[in-house]
Amino acid sequence: MPYFLYILLCVLQFFVSVALIYIVTIQDSKNDGLQGQIGSTTTSSFKGKAGREEQLNLLTRRIAVAFFVIAILVAAGHK
């Protein structure tokens, strides 16, 4: 892997990790007492559109997958 591409992936990984930390910290806590222990989920949708929490969960998953893929590429490119 060219050195420039390796540095670019490292910088990209840094920004994706900061974004992941930010998205996780702005989410609401899931501590709902006994209901949170059982595992039931409540969805808040309006006219078929996902609510704020569902959108944040989806964004968190996507950013986490991007971070994982970039981490694998950085590890593969490291000499």
In a domain, 79, yes or no: yes
- The larger pLDDT score, comparing residue 19 to residue 42, is at 19
Query: Does pLDDT of 69 surpass 90?
Result: yes
- The larger pLDDT score, comparing residue 79 to residue 12, is at 12
In a domain, 42, yes or no: no
Query: Does pLDDT of 6 surpass 80?
Result: yes
Q: Exposed, middle or buried: residue 79 (CB in 10 Å: 0-12, 13-18, 19+)?
A: exposed
Number of structural domains found in the chain = 1
pLDDT of residue 31: 66
In a domain, 73, yes or no: yes
Residue 21 belongs to what domain range? 1-26+50-79
* Tens of pLDDT, residues 48-63: 667 888 999 999 999 9
In this prediction the pTM is 0.73
In a domain, 61, yes or no: yes
